[in-house]
Each structure stands twice: as C-alpha cells, then as structure tokens.
Chains A and B, each alone.
Chain A
C-alpha cells in the first residue's frame, strides 16, 4: 500500500463540559475568559484515526491544521507530542467572528495550499457549537466526497478506503475513493497519549507570534532547529477573499442570547398538589427545558 498524505483539522475550544457558575456574565453572554480551553474532543479522535493509519502504512504523513487565535498554537504542540509530522496555524484577527461557512472557506484555502492530499480528517463536531457543519462544508468546497461519523477504518486500499460509520440507529460500511473527507465520531478509539520523546523534541515549538515575546535562548534554538517554528498563515498567505472570511463572510448572526444556567441553589421542594406541579411544568417550559 502506498503512503497516504493526511490532513487533520483540529480546533481549540472553550471547555463547555465544565461550565462553572462564573462562565456566564450577568447579561447572559458567555464569559470566554472564565472558560479554560481544550483540544476539541472529537478532533482528538480524528487525530488518533490519522496516527493509526500512519502506524499501518509507513511513510504516511500527518499534518495538523488549525484556525484560531495565537493561543491555538497549543493544538499544534499537542499534535506534535502525539506524533504528527507537521503543524500549521491559520491565524489572523480578520478571521475572527466566523460562522461555519466562513470557517470552512478559510480552512479550505489552507487545505488547498497543502494539496495534494489523500484524506482530510476532522472531528464530527466541536463542543462549543455542536453544529457538525464544517466537515461537510469543507468537502463541498474541495469538491470531494464526504464520509461522516466514521468509527473505524476497516481497510485501506490503493484506490479506496473502507470505513464504518456510526449512525443514530445503527452502523453502515462504505467505501470512498481518494481524496475524501471524513468526520470522526466520538465512538472511535481514544487518542493515544503524548509520547515522551516527542514532548522533549517539540516542547519549545512556538508560533511566530509567540516568538515575539521569546527570550534569546528560545530564539537561537529556533534558528538552529527550524522545525520548531510553527507556520502561521495570514489572510494573504492563503489568498483569502476578505468578503468571505470572519464576520463579513458569515451569514448567521446571533440576534440574542438567553442564559439558562440555573445558579447552583437548594433544590425546590414541592408537594404533589396541582399548584406545585403546574408551577414546575410552567417553569420548565419557560426555561426551554421542555418544549
């Protein structure tokens, strides 16, 4: 089997699984500063799928691509620690405020710069939006087939790849030709842990932005070992159309936001009286807990 060239799309996300009482501002908007960031869980599954193919077919290369603020360099380092060959950031203030359509356009501009490739992998969805849209949107813009909700790669052939998909009520095995895009389901194997050797090798990997505040030692290290410098692509680097990125390129806008986080409080103690039960039902409907 010939080696494959794989691109993994990964996102740094606020850790919405651990939303504390201070995660919401009094006006009901999200207090991003109070949420820690994590490697999007489904994207870690996609990374494992890619690394597993690399284990099976020597010579396969895995490139991790992320779009985000300077802090998203964490994602690239994490990728290196677990075994990717290359990491690239797409980072520019002008990309900010993008919805899924603008995000997929931006990622695709980056993917095109990395062509040719055999596989583009990403998590099924990101926990900050749970939309599961960016994968299929990228596939359309690249004009390649998509295979969503992949749980396992069953066979890798020269001209096609066979995968099992996890659907709501069952499973489906499909074959797809290269190049194709796959989104990876959380039921696939967990990502391997960091490899100590890789951590040693890449712990000083820094993006250009991060190097601006680096000391002499780090700068000279990057001069000697250029693989430590994480490329950071701007709007110009990926030749992006400014009208298709960021807020301007995003058709969906948030009109209003309503907090439904109940402040941690004592349980409400009710009786089985009509007044109590109807009151509770009304509250649940009002808070959109039930529809």
Chain B
C-alpha cells in the first residue's frame, strides 16, 4: 500500500522539532490507513541520522547526504524530493509550515501537479462522496486549517490529483516516540547522479540564524505574565503551559522590570506587538502601554485577583483567581482533555 511520506528538516545533524512532530502525525495517519511511514532527509554529514528518526516508527528512510545540501536551497532539495516522490508514489506527503517547508512544498506540488494544503493544524483520514461522479472516495486526507484570518476552519480534500500534500504548523502536532528500537530500512539517495549544475545557481553568501530565537510575532498562542505572577518560580508554570500549547511566553514591562522574564519577551508599546490566536494574560493589570501591544489577539483570557483589572474589559474569559492556582490547573486539564 502506498506510504505516508514526511520531509524532515535537519540542521547541524539535528532533526528539527517540527519534523519530529510530523513523523508522529505521519505515523498516526499511517496506522489509520494501515500503510508504511517513509521519510526523507537531505543534508550534510548525516551518518547515523536514522537513530533520531527510526523511533518515530519510520519504515524506510531516504537519505541524501552531501556537503552541497546544507544549508537548504530550493532547487537541489526539490530535485531530490521530486525524484523520490515520483519513484515511490506515496499517497500523502507532509512538510513543516516553516520557511523551508513553505518554500519547497509548493514548488514540488507544481512539479507533481498535485494538491497542497498550507498550514494545517489538524490532519485526519476520512471519506468523501463526489456527487458529480457518484463515487465515494475512501481514506482521503482531511487537511484542516484556519482560513480567512483565522475566522473559519476549512477541511480541504483532494481526491483525484495525488499525492495529497500538506504543510503543518509547528507546535500543533503531538510528538511521541513510537518504538525506541524500531527498525528502519535506510536508502542512500544517489545525490550526484540526480543533481545537475543548474540546481546550484542560487548561492548563499551569508547566513545568520539564531539558535533559539524568540519569535513572539508569529506565535499562535502567547502565555504572558505580569507583576501579579509574583515570582520567577511561578513563571515556570507559564513557560510549561506555553510549551504544552505550542506557544511562546511573554511578559509585561512590570514582569521584565521585576526580573521574571527577559527583555526580548516584553509585549506592549515598548516591546513587541503581537496578534496571536490566543493570548493568556496572567497577573497583568492591563495598562494601555501593554494592551496596545496585544489587543488584536483573537481571544484573550485574563487571570487576575482583581475583578476590576482594566484588561478584563477586553478579555473573552475572565478568571478571578490566583495565577499560581489557575495555571497549574490549566496544564492539568489540558493534558487530560487534549487529543
């Protein structure tokens, strides 16, 4: 049966978080379909990389190993990936909705003349009846994503131009090891015979990548704390919740001044302006200097001891209570209810 294929991103011999999440999501789809999970990874000095990938339950791993494949460039990666996808003909292909995945996947969709759904937050398998053809298509990929500025969730399907491809947002798929000792068949890709000189016409002159950059602007969920959090230790709960939800941690100026959190995470007029899908304001009173930087959030939850806190006026949920009590409960009930 045709496989589910995951394109893995790797830098400095480390498989990216998003790719580990995709492998887990891909494995869940493969199990529903009863098909193998395949993966491909291109980079340099990849000897032994399979030990990071196999435990996610990967049946076959295609490795393109060459100095010229790292850092990522569109054309050589597209040439290798399209060769593998044409030869192996998987039914589903997943990419991260990252600056690499969003650059590569559409180019491949054009090469393969297939459908691609961007920035999915939910993947599932299901059927679809096409009225025109009076035909039921079984076991299609349901690629579910927010659209129209996040005001709708759309379920996108593709029943006739396969493979079914999707990019998936970072932090939304649960990462889980399938089997520590899973045995993966490694297939070395003959890089030199596939790539041509014209695949290398774009040259990287300089590159500055932060190892662990704070990216508040693009975070879909922000858990933000104020002076009311009370201590650096209490802030650890905020960090845990943010991590769990696939979001980032931010803070008000008062929290930064109190030393609870680093300056580069300050939100507000003098910090970063954010527009996340969800903003959790913990112990933040909501001075105008702060709300100016977050009032465009789609949803705001305010947790505060003071029922009259100004931020409550723009919140969708107001929780009257202690941050130190409420945040651990949110963590607990999220773990209990998340799928």
Q: A interface vs B, CB < 8 Å?
A: 14, 16-17, 19, 23-24, 28, 30, 99-101, 104, 127-137, 139-141, 145-149, 162, 167-177, 180, 250-262, 267-272, 274, 276-278, 280-282, 284-285, 288-291
Query: Does B326 lie at the interface of the complex (its beta carbon under 8 Å from any beta carbon of A)?
Result: yes
Chain B residues lying within 8 Å of A269, measured Cβ to Cβ, are 318, 320
B316 and A133: CB pair below 8 A? no
CA gap between A255 and B98 in the complex, in Å: 25
Taking the closest CB of chain B, its distance from the CB of A93, in whole angstroms, is 19
Q: Is the CB of B213 within 8 A of A169?
A: yes
Q: Is the CB of B118 within 8 A of A147?
A: no
Known: A130-B118, A141-B110. A255 touches B142 (CB 8 A): yes
Complex CA gap A284/B300 in Å reads: 11
C-alpha spacing A7/B245, complex, angstroms: 42
The 9 A-B pairs at the shortest CB distance, nearest first, are namely A272-B321, A251-B115, A16-B149, A251-B161, A170-B209, A133-B106, A140-B110, A131-B118, A136-B106
Majority SS at the chain A contact face: mixed
Query: In the complex, which residues of chain B have a beta carbon less than 8 angstroms from the beta carbon of A23?
Result: 148, 151
Contact size range, B: 35 or more
Given contacts A147-B202, A272-B322, contact A290 B118 (CB under 8 A): no
Are B98 and A272 touching (Cβ within 8 A)?
Answer: no
Task: State the CA gap A277–B280 with chains docked (Å).
Answer: 13
B 298-339 contacts with A by CB, 8 A? 298-299, 301-302, 312, 315-322, 325-326, 329-330, 333-334, 336-339
Residues of chain A lying within 8 A (CB to CB) of residue B319: 270-272, 276-277, 280
Q: Which residues of B lie under 8 Å from residue A262 when comparing CB positions?
A: 299, 316
Contact with A along B208-230 (1 / 0, CB 8 A): 11100101001001000000000
Q: Are A272 and B206 in contact (CB under 8 A)?
A: no
In the complex, A101 Cα to B338 Cα: how many Å?
34
CB pair B155–A173 under 8 Å, yes or no, is: no
Which secondary structure dominates chain B's binding surface?
A: mixed
A260 in contact with B153 (CB, 8 Å): yes
Partner of A136, one of B103, B215, B298, B339: B103
B259-279 interface with A by 8 A CB criterion: 277-278
Q: B204 contacts the other chain (Cβ, under 8 Å)?
A: yes
Q: Which residues on the B side are within 8 Å of A127 (C-beta)?
A: 149
B339 cross-chain contacts in A, Cβ below 8 A: 285
| Extra A-B contacts (5), CB below 8 Å, given A162-B205, A250-B115, A267-B318 | A133-B116, A253-B159, A260-B146, A270-B318, A272-B325
Interface residues of B in 95-112 (CB under 8 A from A): 98-99, 102-107, 109-111
Contact A274 B329 (CB under 8 A): yes
Contacts of A260 in B (CB 8 A): 146, 150-153
Q: Cα distance A112–B147 when bound, in Å?
A: 31
Cα-based distance from A133 to B71 in the complex (angstroms): 21
